[in-house]
A = this chain, B = another copy of it.
Amino acid sequence: MDDVTFAVLGTGGIGRRTLDVARHKEGLTPVAACDRNGVAVDHDGLDVAELLDATEGNIASGPEADGDTPATPESDYASDGGAAAAEGGSVDDGVKQAGEGAGVVASAQGEPTETPIDDVIAESDAVDAVLIALPNLEHDFVPRVAERFADAGYEGVLVDVLKRSRVIGMLDDRAEALESSGITFVCGAGATPGFLTGAAALAAQSFVEVESVEIRWGVGLKSGYEDNRGTVREDIAHLDGYDIERAREMSEDEIEELVAERGGQLEFHDMEHADDVLLERAGVCDAEDVSVGGVLDVRSDEKPTTTTVRVTGTTFDGERGTNTFELDDATSMAANVNGPALGYLKAAVLRNRAGDYGVYGPTEVMPRF
């Protein structure tokens, strides 16, 4: 395929790693990136190495994260695994990690701005695709960002790695506006939903009736724990007996205690992940037949369980069976989020160039390599 230029909104874990993975992919040129304080644009291609160095450690993890401007990607472990954050590694003292001088503005390519998203929109005529790796602390934030691109008459691709089921409906509400602008939006294009939802939809092809889809992930987060305390807190809301309010109110000590009580492993069941609505939308099964869960180990970098998709159904000739998709334990969640995100982005660009606009999920788009 011809070269694809893309921008990244948000240079938290997912944004940064996407830039990193893109260096290994053919035909992808990053031309813009922004965070809450700064924007970097180079239509000949950003110097990714320099930008990554400058934004290293640029991951807000505490309650101080600002919901309205990008720094942290929306991240829980199923799609923004700590194994990935861990790769950020040690913090370079030469880079300011907090406050006005942190992040993109610390890069030689960065300019300070109070309107980072608008600044990228202003350049979007020369941008084929935009990866939205923004914190989605308010559920309609990503949909509203998409709407701003449509309002500006953007013709191109938007991809996000959102996870919460309720966001899909908010995007659907805006589908017409996106489509008439000439936008091809692939939503939920990380690991789950995304990669694993796509695998489920594919595995379902043996069957004429699907009775269950079980998605189970494992993440080892020892090295990345410190960088991801905020996400651990967010995930605690998914634990049996907890909710968002309760998790928000917990002190750091209470969280440590909870983690210690469970030997460093948190196990999640029936998470609110959009895999369910996306698979229902694709006609594969009812949302209630989809379950997403996993195990996070904050004391080991090994995955505590193998990431697996199991699709059980009945064939046209009346046999019942379970097809299985399994990721090697050696593949970090970062690899499984950012590779697919770029794969879906590439595929969406091809569709967009063919004049195929609208909102699509990972059950409808085969990601390109």
A residues apposed to B, CB below 8 Å:
17, 20-21, 24-26, 87, 195, 198-199, 201-210, 282-284, 315-317, 319-332, 334-336, 338-340, 343, 347, 350-351, 354-357, 363-369
Contacts and interface: CB of A to CB of B under 8 A. Distances in A.
Contacts of A320: 330
A368 B327 contact: no
How many copies of the chain does the oligomer comprise? 2
A317 to B, nearest CB: 6
A271 B355 CA distance: 38
Contacts of A326: 323-326
Contacts of A331: 206-207, 315, 319, 321, 323
A343 B24 contact: no
A327 B310 CA distance: 10
B327 A325 contact: no
Contacts of A339: 205-208, 315-316
B208 A316 contact: no
A205 B315 contact: no
A324 B321 contact: no
A202 B199 contact: yes
Contact of A205 (B208, B350, B364, B367): B367
Given A195-B206, A323-B327, 14 more contacts: A195-B202, A195-B205, A199-B203, A199-B325, A202-B202, A205-B339, A205-B369, A206-B336, A283-B369, A317-B335, A321-B328, A324-B326, A325-B326, A347-B364
A176 B3 CA distance: 21
A335 B355 contact: no
Contacts of A327: 206, 321, 323
A335 B207 contact: yes
Residue of A332, A334, A350 contacting most chain B CB atoms (<10 Å):
A332
A253 to B, nearest CB: 33
A341 to B, nearest CB: 9
A347 B317 CA distance: 23
A267 B201 CA distance: 30
Contact of A198 (B210, B317, B343, B366): B366
A340 B205 contact: yes
